[in-house]
Amino acid sequence: MTAEPTVFVVDDDPAMRQSLRWLLQSVGLAVETYGTAEAFLATVDRARPGCLVLDVRMPGMSGLHLQEELKNRGILLPIIVVTGYAEVPTAVRALKTGAIDFIEKPFSDQHLVESVRHAIALDQESRVTEAERAEVTARLASLSTREREVMERVTEGKANKVIAIDLGIGEKTVEVHRANVMRKLGVSSVAALIRLVLLARGTTGKP
C-alpha cells in the first residue's frame, strides 16, 4: 500500500509552523512540523513520499545547508523554500540546489497550496520513474556479457551483419543473442529496447 504524501514543514517560528499546519490540513494534506533542520534530519526517511516546505534562516543548520545535506544523502524530496529575506543570491543558490519554488513571506495562501500540490505530484512521478528504473536495471543484470555487447550495438542502430563483424562472431549467433535480449527485457521492438536503456541510464526516454 502506498504511503500518504506528507508535507514536512521546517521553520523555527512556532506561529508560522502552526499557521502552515492549519492551512495545509484545511485542504486535506497530511502535515508534520519541525522547529530545526537537525530535528527533521533525525527522522527523515527517503521512503516517505511528499515534499518539504523549508525556511531559510534558522538557528543552527540553515535551510540551505539542510537542502544540501538532503541532496548529499540522496533524499530528493521536492523543496519549497520560504523566507522573509528574499535575497537574489539566496534564491539562486536554493534553486540551483534543486528547490522547485522560492516564496517570500508574507505569501499568498493559494500560491503556497498550489506549489505544494505541484511538489507532491512531482514526487509521485519521480517515485514511479525510480521504481521503473530499478525494475529495468534488474532485467539488464540478467543479460550475459555477450548479450549486453549485442544490445549496446543494436541500440546504436547497427545491423546484425555489422555487429557480427564487430564482435567476431557469426551473424546467426548475433540473431540468437538479440532474440535473448528482447525476451529477457520483455520488449518486441528496437524502439522499446532503446527506451529501456535510456531509462536505466537516468532518463525516461520520452521525447
Domains of the chain, earliest start first:
6-130 (3.40.50.2300), 142-200 (1.10.10.10)
Is the per-residue pLDDT at 70 higher than 70?
yes
Q: Which has more pLDDT, 4 or 89?
A: 4
Confidence bin at 46 (pLDDT 50/70/90):
confident
Mean pLDDT (the chain) is 89
The candidate with the shortest Cα–Cα distance to 44, out of 27, 67, 21, is 67
Q: What is the structure's pLDDT at 199?
A: 85
Is the per-residue pLDDT at 206 higher than 60?
no
User: pLDDT > 90: what percent of the chain?
Assistant: 62
Query: Which stretch of 37-46, 97-106, 131-140, 150-159 has the lowest confidence by average pLDDT?
Result: 97-106
Residues with Cβ within 8 Å of 4's Cβ and at least 6 positions away in sequence, in order, are 30, 49
How far is 180 from 151, CA to CA, in rounded Å?
Answer: 10
The candidate with the shortest Cα–Cα distance to 2, out of 114, 135, 127, 136, is 127
Confidence bin at 88 (pLDDT 50/70/90):
low
How far is 94 from 92, CA to CA, in rounded Å?
Answer: 5
Confidence bin at 198 (pLDDT 50/70/90):
confident
Q: What is the mean pLDDT of residues 65-91?
A: 83
143-183 confidence digits (pLDDT tens): 999 999 999 999 999 999 999 999 999 999 999 999 999 99
Is the per-residue pLDDT at 184 higher than 90?
yes
Confidence bin at 25 (pLDDT 50/70/90):
very high
123-147 confidence digits (pLDDT tens): 999 888 888 888 888 999 999 999 9
Q: Which has more pLDDT, 92 or 205?
A: 92
User: pLDDT > 70: what percent of the chain?
Assistant: 92
Q: What is the structure's pLDDT at 207?
A: 38
Q: Which has more pLDDT, 114 or 100?
A: 114
How far is 66 from 40, CA to CA, in rounded Å?
Answer: 9
